[in-house]
């Protein structure tokens, strides 16, 4: 199967088939994400799919007509629908794909618009199955799926979880973000982060003095969250460990909320061995009180308070001692001697890259939407970036990582 030859500036045309399962409601989010990423989307809905979500919803989100019937009732619509859609499409995606539609396509049936269009289509077809866990493990279903796979069709594995019927097991529709990333990889096999595991820390940690007071810093997590979003959009499996923040969790990213540096370290250590790239963007509080006071220290009872502090664990330096295949990226938030201090951290923590950020600037660093940084690699090559939004900077960092990984031939490119 091949994609239709297109000018590189043309958008990819996707026909999304929505079939009759409870997960059909998730197709709305899938369409939104596909449109956000610049795909042209047309939708075919089966009769049963319309029991779960309306064609109007998907028409509004796709900005296109939704097709439901094999034959048009509009006299002005003279197209042969299953042929015209097959000619228009570069890619067919069926999500959710029920056991019924998979069986029909495996048998070569063409009894509605969706199955007829797929039979007339010569490009790649992707199935994202969704059904009860007993059905998805049934030998008859597995035989049909194997038949389609042997013919060159692709399947996105269903996820485990609590199903609509209350059972627990495999059968949940894959997350829409995962489906979009799979599509991107299908279109661009060189998507360098596809299926790679990236661990990112974000925001500040807090070290309690008593039950209501703590030591911390102004970090809001914006840079770490931007990095997580950029990595997700390039196909990575992202785990984000964040301190307290007002930012919303990002769809498709495993987000773990912690408070203290020791809690962040426990989570980093847990995920580190299976990680391909670790980006330490969190502003970990360097010191913590030696003595924690339960309850609230009453100021009327204390005239002078001496707060004794001790060093916190250096998370990045500690896990770097276990470094094997991992690529390590650190951040240096400095107010003076920016490059000197950043290079010192780069070497002492055994990093591959460090992002040197002058947080004395009012337009860069904590609690703002922009950053002005240098990116330095372990060979002391330096790139000075202009003032960028944090998401733009995240994209630039991953561009550099991509080039680095290609040169190193470190198993991240095909």
DSSP per-residue letters across 97-120: E-HHHHHHHHTT---SHHHHHHHT
How far, in Å, CA of 297 to CA of 31, rounded? 53
Checking DSSP bridges between strand 237-242 and strand 197-202, what pairing results, if any?
parallel
How far, in Å, CA of 164 to CA of 143, rounded? 25
Contact 173, 224 (CB under 8 A): no
SS3 85: helix
As annotated, the active-site residues are 165
CA angle 366, 368, 370 (to 5 degrees): 105
How far, in Å, CA of 46 to CA of 34, rounded? 20
Burial class (CB in 10 A: 0-12, 13-18, 19+), 73: exposed
Contact 119, 44 (CB under 8 A): no
In the Cβ-directed half-sphere of 56, how many Cα atoms lie within 13 Å?
Answer: 0
Q: Which tokens go with 259?
A: 């408070």
Distances 76 to 43, 63, 65, 87, 319 between C-alpha atoms, Å? 20, 20, 15, 20, 67
Bridge partners, 218 (sequence order): none
H/E stretch holding 272: helix 261-272
Q: How many residues make up the chain in this entry?
A: 414
Sign of the CA dihedral running 210, 216, 221, 227:
negative
């Amino acid at each position: 199967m091949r994609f239709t030859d297109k000018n590189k500036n043309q958008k990819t045309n996707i026909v999304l088939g929505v079939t009759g399962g409870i997960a059909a409601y998730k197709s709305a989010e899938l369409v939104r994400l596909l449109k956000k990423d610049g795909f042209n989307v047309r939708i075919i809905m089966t009769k049963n799919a319309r029991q779960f979500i309306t064609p109007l919803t998907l028409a509004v989100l796709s900005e296109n007509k939704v097709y439901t019937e094999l034959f048009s009732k509009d006299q002005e619509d003279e197209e042969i629908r299953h042929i015209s859609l097959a000619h228009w499409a570069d890619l067919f995606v069926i999500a959710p794909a029920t056991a019924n539609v998979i069986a029909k396509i495996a048998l070569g049936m063409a009894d509605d618009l969706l199955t007829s269009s797929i039979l007339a289509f010569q490009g790649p077809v992707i199935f994202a199955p969704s059904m009860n866990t007993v059905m998805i493990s049934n030998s008859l279903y597995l035989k049909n799926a194997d038949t389609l796979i042997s013919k060159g069709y692709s399947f996105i594995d269903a996820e485990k979880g609590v199903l609509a019927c209350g059972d627990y097991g495999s059968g949940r529709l894959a997350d829409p973000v995962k489906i979009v990333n799979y599509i991107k990889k299908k279109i661009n096999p060189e998507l360098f982060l596809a299926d790679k595991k990236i661990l990112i820390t974000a925001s500040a940690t807090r070290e309690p003095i008593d039950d209501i007071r703590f030591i911390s810093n102004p970090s809001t997590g914006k840079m770490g969250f931007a990095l997580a979003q950029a990595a997700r959009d390039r196909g990575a499996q992202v785990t984000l460990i964040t301190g307290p923040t007002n930012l919303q969790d990002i769809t498709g990213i495993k987000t773990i909320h912690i408070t203290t540096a020791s809690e962040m370290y426990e989570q980093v250590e847990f995920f580190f061995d299976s990680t391909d790239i670790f980006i330490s963007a969190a502003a970990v509080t360097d010191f913590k009180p030696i003595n924690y006071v339960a309850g609230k220290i009453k100021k009327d009872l204390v005239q002078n308070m001496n707060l004794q502090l001790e060093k916190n664990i250096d998370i990045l330096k500690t896990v770097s001692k276990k470094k094997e295949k991992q690529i390590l990226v650190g951040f240096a938030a400095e107010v003076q001697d920016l490059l000197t201090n950043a290079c010192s951290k780069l070497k002492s923590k055994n990093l591959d890259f460090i992002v040197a950020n002058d947080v004395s600037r009012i337009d860069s660093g904590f609690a703002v939407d922009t950053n002005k940084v240098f990116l330095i690699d372990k060979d002391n090559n330096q790139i000075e970036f202009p003032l960028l939004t944090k998401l733009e900077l995240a994209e630039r960092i991953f561009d550099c990582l991509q080039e680095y990984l290609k040169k190193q031939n470190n198993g991240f490119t095909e």
